[in-house]
Amino acid sequence: MEQTKERIKLETEVLRFILIAMIAVVGGTLSLLLGEWTPFRLTLAGLGLLATVGLTLMSWRRYRWIIALVERLPEDQS
């Protein structure tokens, strides 16, 4: 039981980190697109877009995993 609760806390912290990283990557990608559109900047913006998609998928899976862990807790302990 305690191990599951600690796992939920860890997974929640990882999810928080992923969301913060996603915000930072989106901000960087948008700032690249605000300047002159050179091939290098467009390439970096495209990579930022791919990283954002990857982080979004990771956060969705992590969220689903946290929900599954919470549902495994007994009713009186949640």
Residues with Cβ within 8 Å of 31's Cβ and at least 6 positions away in sequence, in order, are none
> What pLDDT is stored for residue 17 in this prediction?
95
Mean pLDDT, all residues of the chain = 91
Has residue 77 got a pLDDT over 90? no
Q: What angle do CA 71, 72, 73 make, to 5 degrees?
A: 90
Q: According to the model, what pLDDT value does residue 55 have?
A: 94
Can you give the pTM of this predicted structure?
0.80
In which domain, by residue range, is 29 found?
A: 2-77
Number of separate domains in the chain: 1
Which pLDDT tens digit goes with each residue over 11-40? Answer: 999 999 999 999 999 999 999 999 899 999
Statement: residue 70 has pLDDT above 80: yes
